[in-house]
Amino acid sequence: MDLKSVEDLKGVLRPDFFHGYATAAAQIEGAWDKDGKGVSIWDTFGHTPGKVSDGSTADDAVRAYDFYREDVALMKSYGVNAYRFSLAWSRIIPLGGRDDPVNEQGIQYYSDLIDELIRNGITPFVTLFHWDTPQTLEDRYGGMLNQEAYTPDFVRYARVCFERFGDRVKHWITYNEPGVYTLAGYAAGVHAPARSSFRDRNAEGDSSTEPFIVAHTELVSHGHVSRMYREEFQPHQKGTIGITLHGNWSEPWDEDDPLDQAAAERAREFEISWFADPLYKTGDYPASMRAQLGDRLPRFTAEESKLVLGSSDFYGMNSYTTFFVKHKTTPADINDHKGNVESHDENKHGVSRGEESDTPWLRAAPGGFRKLLNWIYKRYQMPIYVTENGTTAKGEVAPTPEVLNDTFRIKFFEGYVGNALARAVKEDGVDIRSYFAWTFTDNWEWAAGYSDRFGCTFIDYESEEKKRYPKQSAYYLDKVFKHLIQQA
């Protein structure tokens, strides 16, 4: 675990740089029906046979609900100064709605977790929504498909959180990866709430329209929550509020072909600018999306556009990998949401997009990460908070010395943190203010169940207490950030 490759980068990150881990409530907490918690769409999904690849549920997950004190102590031993976690909406308001009762036991759990973090010198970054809509709202009116009904419910939930936690929480994120939520849940139908046009997979849904309707609801409801926070809470709580977007780098399959260059840019716009242009640039969707989708893409009213544009104090960025993108000569399929392109693992010259992890879509590509940091900063001119980045590694099935000395993950972090992020700051002038590794412990990785291990801490799922085993990558991150962050 030497730092040779970053020797020249000592102190390049700002003294108030945040580094730690990101998690999601539905993936780690367990206690799915304990202490008054209501049912979320992911509880429903996990309990539906055939939906999760290994047949598992998140009923217990890694029992973070029970072991949060031990987890905070472990995090502290990893040297972190911040922790990004999400609140389970249905733990706070079990039925989810604006007139439904608040669950005080749920409030108490998160309040205790926040206090424990602060006691240990760890700054809480809190995400309001990480994909787990209360099932009741889905049943009542179709969840985010009904913007008019959904928005006041989300605003009320956010208000409760600001009122109860905002005295101590100064970093708020409204939505995590609204694009992934919509595409996996409403276009492909492989995530909750499991809707799509593909009847062999889902009983209901329309992949050609619903993802864009849901995305619009997310953007507008984010705008309402942001305005409420800024007007009613920010003046005295002195916090920040933003949103976290997903997006991987798209590289032209043939770097000399103008059509592939255009396809790569279009892919970035469909994936990233779909949300980022309305938030940070124009208050509207990219022209490339309107050209392909026409009236299937909702239109912002003047009021909505004004509400959304400028509503995020920072650019929250989740990114993992890179794809080679090739243009298509055939017209776009009605269910296409990628900009009518093909994605490839190798380019025209047979060059791979990166070393394979244990997850088919994820390959290590730090060079693409640096390009993406530059592309986002140039286009949107906002401070970037990297809110998720990490990897699985092959062969992590037992806590053996070889598995716990996770050299593949260390190499991944070395590339992404040391040679991409730190050099983007020093050599390219990109304003980056945080890095949250995905993730703290192995967890329930949505539809992949427990088969995808992203953790810097190995979990023994067979043990009742879900025993934690630190991996060496956690100590590498501590070491590298001590070197990179300027000492105040």
Per-residue pLDDT tens over the stretch 195-208: 999 999 999 999 99
Closest to 323 in 3D by CA, of 263, 278, 395: 263
Which residue, 447, 425, 359, is CA-closest to 8? Answer: 425
For residue 242, the model assigns a pLDDT of 98
Question: Tens digits of per-residue pLDDT, 37-83?
Answer: 999 999 999 999 999 999 999 999 999 999 999 999 999 999 999 99
The yes-or-no verdict on residue 488 having pLDDT over 90 is: no
> What residue type is assigned to position 77 of the chain?
S
Mean pLDDT over 341-364 rounds to 98
Look at residue 2 and tell me whether its pLDDT is greater than 90: no
CA distance 194 to 202: 6
pLDDT of the residue at 448: 98
In whole numbers, what is the pLDDT of the chain averaged over residues?
98
SS3 state at 347: coil
Q: In the structure, what pLDDT confidence band is assigned to residue 34 with cuts at 50, 70 and 90?
A: very high
- Domain at 54, CATH number: 3.20.20.80
Cα–Cα distance measured from residue 487 to residue 16, given in angstroms and rounded to the nearest whole number: 9
In sign, the C-alpha dihedral spanning 321, 439, 52, 42 is negative
Could you list the residue range(s) of the whole structural domain that residue 266 is in? 4-484
Rounded Cα–Cα distance for residues 90 and 93 (Å): 5
Is 388 an active-site residue? yes
pLDDT of residue 456: 98
Percent of the chain with pLDDT over 90: 99
The catalytic residue among 29, 177, 269, 414 is: 177
CB-CB contact of 175 with 243 (8 Å): yes
Per-residue pLDDT for 1 more than 80?
Answer: no
Question: Does 12 score more than 80 pLDDT?
Answer: yes
Per-residue pLDDT, averaged over 83-105, amounts to 98
Average pLDDT of the segment spanning 173-182? 98
The pTM assigned to this predicted structure is: 0.98
pLDDT at residue 330 in the model: 97
The string of pLDDT tens digits covering residues 306-328 is 999 999 999 999 999 999 999 99
Task: Give dist(CA 457, CA 169) in Å, integer.
Answer: 26
How many domains does one find in the chain? 1
The residues, ordered by sequence, that sit 6+ positions from 198 with a Cβ below 8 Å of its Cβ are 188, 189, 207
Known active-site residue 177? yes
- Determine which one of 265, 388, 396, 445 is catalytic: 388
Find the mean pLDDT for residues 232-256: 98
